[in-house]
Structure 1
Amino acid sequence: MVVALTDEQLQLTDSMAGFAKRHGGLDLTRTRFDAIAAGHRPDFWDALVGQGLHAVHLPEHLGGQGGTLAEAACVLDAAGHGLLPGPLLPTVIAGAVLATAIGEPAAALLEAIVAGGTAALVLPADGEIRATTADGGWRLDGSAGPHLGLCAADIIVLGARTEAGEPLWFALHTDTPGLTVQAQTSTDLTRDVGTLDCRGVHTADALAGVDEATAVGITVGMMAAEAAGIARWCVDNVVAYLKVREQFGRPIGSFQALQHKAAMLYITSELAAASAWDAVRGGDRSPVQQHIAAAGAAVTAIGRLPELVVDALTMFGAIGYTWEHDLHLYWKRAISLAAAAGTATKWARALGDPDLPGRDFTIELTEVEPDFRAEIAAALDAAAQLRNDTPGRQNPEYAEYWTGPRRTALADAGLVAPHLPAPWGLAATPAQQLIIDEEFDKRPYLVRPSLGIAEWILPTVLGAGSDEQRDRFAVPTMRGEIGWCQLFSEPGAGSDLAGLATRATKVDGGWRINGQKVWTSSAQRADWGALLARTDPDAKKHKGIGYFLVDMTSPGITVSPLRTAGGEAHFNEVFFDDVLVPDAMLVGEPTAGWSHALATMANERVAIGAYVKQDKESELRALARRAPQDTQVRVALGEVRAATNAIGALAVRDTLGRLAGHGPGPASSIGKVGTALLVRRVTADALAFSGRAAMVGGGEQPAVARSLMMPAEVIGGGTVEIQLNIIATMILGLPRG
């Protein structure tokens, strides 16, 4: 995934990628390592300036393209993918920070950058530069670095501190008396690194209007965009290699171990791009939100980039470790970027402040469809005057499942599942769904109803069922008057649903069901179940399956609770002994059940992936508050938040894409895997930091109880391994084994 989101941004990314291909070229770069290290401009710099690609984000009245930081991120994403050498990243960062300054001096310097001048930004934290008043201006003393792009820079935007520790900003030409730049041996062979020394540097004026937190956010966002391009290059080239490299007479991309590694590489890359996009987008938010977004990108996109490249190297094998292979050039740039951004541990510790708010992913739609919003607001206000009075059939212990006048009013208004077609829902567009979300959020006293398991089943019934089935089940399910269970998994089939053995034999008036299901949630209280059974034992295993709606009070059904490791019976085994299901309860054709099952599982995986919206960090947050000096707890909390925010950013990007008319992307599969890994990480950390307290069970230690419930979330809706198979073959196009 590229950082770009809009059609115009995608075109800009393609334009920059084309430029990098025409003018970059790693073969040419290899002949210029010494010149690059000395800070010489690459031969293509004038051409790049001529197209304005270095200044897409600078003001139009100063000669720039008048774009935003998002457009600059698109340029850097493509440049990172092409490993374009030279001072582009430092110049873009310095120009972006300089553009926040006020006054004519800053404008003149921006015009110089637009005209082709190179620049670099030195943050106050990058060195020890002191600013003291002298001769009606300022004297600068101290040193900074090592820093990217100092040797190539014409202009240095320098952050210093006064004796009182306050930040001040200056713009200096590199030929200023007293200022010395010393070239260093750069880890990144495609970009120079230098140190800065100021000895009695005199300058008349400081820049006005530059904010340190904003400068840091810009720097991290732009670096993260380049990191996303590098990660994407790794995925593209690994996948291409796995498709053509053969061992044992077949492509190595058909080996499941490599498929899973490639899928994980892809997931990590996608989350890196999402977090980079979020950091750039965070510049438009409050300082706290900008800090949260920047810290998340520093951890997810930049800090983990070197390891991502190493993961790619292991899939190339020994060839990827050679000097002739391009991978080591990307690896070295990844190392240099991560070092320049500061340690991921430092960023995670800052993000792990337990008093920080959550990342605000609100999408503003205040001016969109005002009449629709007014209708929704009126329906919700009317429902709020009513009360529910009966525990729900699905999960009676939770308020969102209760039934009564309020639930009925919301169901009849199409607001229980507004994405469903009318008359059961509102056939709400993505924008309308967001409006409904906003209106519910404005009324925290109004509990939003949930369909629970029926959320996965009902769309299949509505889409493929008969009129009789829709009339019988839709309204009572929406009103919460019917509880459902899903009868898919079997002891011998697991995630391979096509391997199921439960048999449906045709008899007069219906089907006789024999077999066993397992891991069935809510079967002990469900009124109806959605059942997969084999209707044609001679057909290919995906073809001979039927999808049935089963009355759970039917003779011959035995429900046996399964106690999990925590001691509670959340799941069940269900036995079918000559259970008669009428013909009217078969959904669609007798052998079309596999396609219906896929639709149901897709809904389930989206729902489980959305669990990340719930509070996953409560135990870690409580531990961080109880032990505020424990750095390890705060680092762990920060890493969890970075992962959570990356998944959230991915979901927001997917939503915005749908609002723009694009179809759904792979976000649900990525979110499912990311959420499962996140849940495992949180529970493991909470246990580790609980120490000896974890020896006490019986519900007295939340971390233990949470850990014992963790497998239900990780395995539910299909294991991580199944999702990795889907990503590898269906998204990355690797050959099936």
Structure 2
Amino acid sequence: MALAMSEEQSELTAAVAGFAQRHAPLDKVRAGFEDLAAGRAPEFWDALVAQGFHAVHLPESCGGQGGDLLDAACVLDAAGYALLAGPLVPTVIAGAIAATADPGPAAEALLADIAAGAPAAVVLPEAGQLRATPVDGGWSLRGEVGPELGVCAAQRILVSARTDAGDTIWVVVNPADAGVGVTAAAPTDLTRDVGTLRAADHLVAGAAVIPGLDVARARCTAVAALAAEAAGIARWCADNVIAHLKVREQFGKPIGAFQALQHKAAHLYVQSELAAAAAWDAARAATAPSAQQREVAAAGAAIVANAGLPDLVLDALTMFGAIGYTWEHDLHLYWRRAISIAAAGGSAGSWARALGEPDAVARDFSVTLPEAETEFRAHVVEILGRAAQLRNDTPGRQSPDYLNLYSGAQRDVLADAGLLAPHLPAPWGMAATAAQQLIIAEEFEKHPEVVRSSLGIAEWILPTILAAGTEAQKERFAQPILRGTVAWCQLFSEPGAGSDLASLSTRATRVDGGWRIDGQKVWTSSADRADFGALLARTDPSAAKHRGIGYFLVDMTTPGITVRPLRTATGEAHFNEVFLDDVFVPDDMLVGGPTDGWSLAVATMANERAAISGYLKDDREAVLRALFDRPGVDRDGLTRALGEVRAATNAVAALGLRDILNRLAGHSPGPATSIAKVATGVILRRIGTAAMEFAGRGSMVEQRDGTALAHALQLPAELIGGGTMEVQLNIIATVILGLPRK
């Protein structure tokens, strides 16, 4: 996805893409590698400046377009996609950092020069600091700093210097002035320059010092800009790999039909989407008043988008095969730029350690809603106020261990008001809009004494009943589900089918007044405690696999049903196998038509996957935080591991926030749920691996109270639940990316 969210940002992205196609095709760029490395601006620079792309984020008072860093990020996203050559990114970064300075003539002059078209660059302290010695009327600068992107092309270089007192000052250096020299180096990225800056008793007037610049904020701004470009490169890789897999043939078929390549392409797509989400989050946080929030968002972008980019491009290269490694193919140019971006963005380990401190501030992904829907909010508050006076006292049938499964007077009030599943149509829900659902979530958080009850497994089944069931089925099942007085299970998987529901063999034979069902189901959560189950059975053996399936609602006390708990590696029985021997199900328990089961099952599984991808709302990293108290733990390594987990988790959360904002704008849901399901599985696996590593010898002794071992032994249930990752990758590859089926 592109970073753009608004219509104006989308138009800006498209405008930059069109400009690059007209003025900077890569075949033309290749002819100018030597000039670019020497710092000579590309031929199109004046035209780009005339369009104002380099200054969309600068104040109008100095000649800019009056936007913000998010607008500039959309420009850089498109520039990364097109591999636009020259000093655009360093210039955008210099302007963005200068715009955060205190108002004054030195900052205003720099911004005006940049807006007028002067290429610029910033030398951050990671590349070294000049030494500043006070002299009459100003400062004398000495030293050498770099390498840094864009200093050879720059006509203005914003650089920090260290005083004898240990303070940092920021000054603007003109490479054409006396006492200044720039030396070009052979760039890894062949499409722009890199070099070092030398100062030898270079005099800077005191009035030329730019006050109010903060090193940490400057670093975050630079990372956000680089991440925006990285997101564009990742998107180019995903698009071009997918296009290649559709047309390249081997053994008489497109290679995109090979499952191994489908899975790799789906992973590449997931990573590109997460990179975009992390980059977007860093750009939007750049103007946040909280320095901690800026730094958390920048750390996530540095790890997920910037540091992760070289591997992403390398994965793309391997999917092209040997042709992608040739000099003639453009992919190696993207790879080179990816390596350069990762290096310029700073050490991933340092960012991860900063992000991974156990008491680090969490990223705020809350949505600020406008002052609207005041009557609706007041209505919700009134209901929650009444519910707060009541309690739930009956343990849930699905599990007695969770308060959100209890039933009772408080839950009844919420069910009557439609607050338990507000997205559902009335009278079961409130037909709540996306904005209204966010208001409800906000108010529940403000009323912690009110339990936001869960529908349990029926949360995935009830929408199917309401969408396709009869009025009698809705009347019979909806309210008991909402009130928590019944428990459900999902009878889908079979020993010989697993996630391949179309291959199920359980048979439903037509008899007088209903159906006789014979078969076996497995991996069924809560079947031993369920009152009812949603069951798939083959109603027409002669029909195509996806067509001859029925969707039944089964009373679990019906004669012929035998439930046998399955103990897992934990020693506990979380799952069951269910045997159905000549089980009679009346006609009024069939949902839809006798062969509608496949489409209804897909809808149910979509609801389940959405719920499971939301697991990261829970505190899944607690198992790692707990290890900090273990004697002798490798604290530095654990901190970095926790930071990497948080970066990935925040990228998924940013992806979800973008989806929410799109829905608030009236757009249909995108592929965020599928992406999040895969990403969640990767994160949970990463947490499990890290927990076992840092638990060390402690994992030789089994303990069950939130320990690393307990987490590891429970991990397969979470990775397999809702369909294995491989199944979800198949869906992404064929449905979302359009790769050919076998």
Give the letter for the 1:204 counterpart. Answer: A
Matches of 1:532 and 1:166 in 2, distance apart? Answer: 71
Out of 388, 398, 402, the residue aligned to residue 402 of structure 2 is 398
Matches of 1:348 and 1:693 in 2, distance apart? Answer: 25
Q: 2:691 aligns to what?
A: 686
Matches of 2:387 and 2:703 in 1, distance apart? Answer: 40
Give the letter for the 2:559 counterpart. Answer: P
Matches of 1:413 and 1:4 in 2, distance apart? Answer: 38
Give the letter for the 1:23 counterpart. Answer: H
How far apart are residue 701 of structure 1 and its match?
A: 6.8
Q: 1:223 aligns to what?
A: 226
* 1:525-552, Cα deviation, whole Å (9 max, x unpaired): 1111000011111111111111011111
Alignment of 1:298-377 (within 5 A): 298-377=302-381
Query: Is 1:478 aligned to 2:479, yes or no?
Result: no
Matches of 1:510 and 1:544 in 2, distance apart? Answer: 16
Matches of 2:371 and 2:399 in 1, distance apart? Answer: 37
Alignment of 1:201-280 (within 5 A): 201-205=202-206, 206-280=209-283
Q: 2:50 aligns to what?
A: 50
The secondary structure found in structure 2 opposite 1:281 is helix
Matches of 1:449 and 1:12 in 2, distance apart? Answer: 44
How far apart are residue 624 of structure 1 and its match?
A: 3.4
The secondary structure found in structure 2 opposite 1:550 is strand
Alignment of 1:126-275 (within 5 A): 126-205=127-206, 206-275=209-278
Matches of 1:160 and 1:629 in 2, distance apart? Answer: 36
Q: 1:284 aligns to what?
A: 287
Q: Is the 8 A contact 2:612 2:722 kept in 1?
A: yes
Q: 1:675 aligns to what?
A: 680
How far apart are residue 422 of structure 1 and its match?
A: 0.7
How far apart are residue 629 of structure 1 and its match?
A: 6.2
Matches of 1:638 and 1:669 in 2, distance apart? Answer: 24
**Which piece of structure 1 moves more, 126-135 or 418-427?**
126-135
Q: 1:534 aligns to what?
A: 538
Matches of 1:134 and 1:367 in 2, distance apart? Answer: 55
Q: 2:421 aligns to what?
A: 417
Give the letter for the 2:257 counterpart. Answer: S
* 1:242-301, Cα deviation, whole Å (9 max, x unpaired): 111111111111111111111111111110000000110111331111111100100000
TM-score between the two structures when normalised by the length of structure 2:
0.98
Q: 2:437 aligns to what?
A: 433
Out of 559, 572, 575, the residue aligned to residue 576 of structure 2 is 572
Give the letter for the 1:725 counterpart. Answer: N
How far apart are residue 138 of structure 1 and its match?
A: 2.1
Q: 1:87 aligns to what?
A: 87
Matches of 1:144 and 1:509 in 2, distance apart? Answer: 85
Query: Is 1:19 aligned to 2:22, yes or no?
Result: no
Q: Is the 8 A contact 2:100 2:212 kept in 1?
A: yes
Q: 2:66 aligns to what?
A: 66
How far apart are residue 177 of structure 1 and its match?
A: 2.2
Q: 1:496 aligns to what?
A: 500
Q: Is the 8 A contact 2:623 2:706 kept in 1?
A: no
Which ranges in structure 1 are unaligned for 5 or more consecutive residues? none
Q: 1:515 aligns to what?
A: 519
* 1:441-481, Cα deviation, whole Å (9 max, x unpaired): 11223221111111100000011000001001111110111
Q: Is the 8 A contact 2:634 2:694 kept in 1?
A: no
**Which piece of structure 1 moves more, 132-141 or 193-202?**
132-141
Superposition RMSD on alpha carbons, in Å?
A: 1.2
TM-score between the two structures when normalised by the length of structure 1:
0.99
Residues 164, 382 of structure 1: alpha-carbon distance in 2 compared, 3 angstrom cutoff: farther
Matches of 2:88 and 2:538 in 1, distance apart? Answer: 61
Q: Is the 8 A contact 1:124 1:161 kept in 2?
A: no
How far apart are residue 6 of structure 1 and its match?
A: 1.2
How far apart are residue 365 of structure 1 and its match?
A: 1.0
How far apart are residue 623 of structure 1 and its match?
A: 2.0
Matches of 1:191 and 1:716 in 2, distance apart? Answer: 47
The secondary structure found in structure 1 opposite 2:85 is coil
Matches of 1:684 and 1:51 in 2, distance apart? Answer: 50
Matches of 1:700 and 1:113 in 2, distance apart? Answer: 59
Matches of 1:722 and 1:347 in 2, distance apart? Answer: 33
Matches of 1:349 and 1:60 in 2, distance apart? Answer: 39
Matches of 2:97 and 2:629 in 1, distance apart? Answer: 35
The secondary structure found in structure 1 opposite 2:263 is helix
**Which piece of structure 1 moves more, 128-137 or 631-640?**
128-137
Matches of 2:629 and 2:147 in 1, distance apart? Answer: 36
Matches of 2:431 and 2:513 in 1, distance apart? Answer: 35
Q: 1:709 aligns to what?
A: 714
The secondary structure found in structure 2 opposite 1:505 is strand
How far apart are residue 157 of structure 1 and its match?
A: 0.9
State the number of aligned residues. Answer: 737
Which ranges in structure 2 are unaligned for 5 or more consecutive residues? none
Q: Is the 8 A contact 1:556 1:578 kept in 2?
A: yes
The secondary structure found in structure 2 opposite 1:284 is coil
The secondary structure found in structure 2 opposite 1:2 is coil
The secondary structure found in structure 2 opposite 1:39 is coil
* 1:545-582, Cα deviation, whole Å (9 max, x unpaired): 11011111111111100001000000000111111111
Matches of 1:130 and 1:484 in 2, distance apart? Answer: 71
* 1:506-537, Cα deviation, whole Å (9 max, x unpaired): 11111111111000000111111000011111
How far apart are residue 700 of structure 1 and its match?
A: 5.7
**Which piece of structure 1 moves more, 284-293 or 589-598?**
284-293
The secondary structure found in structure 2 opposite 1:529 is strand
* 1:615-634, Cα deviation, whole Å (9 max, x unpaired): 11112122235468622111
Matches of 1:677 and 1:148 in 2, distance apart? Answer: 34
Residues 233, 575 of structure 1: alpha-carbon distance in 2 compared, 3 angstrom cutoff: same
* 1:114-145, Cα deviation, whole Å (9 max, x unpaired): 11111001112320322232213222222211
Give the letter for the 2:591 counterpart. Answer: V
Q: Is the 8 A contact 1:458 1:474 kept in 2?
A: yes
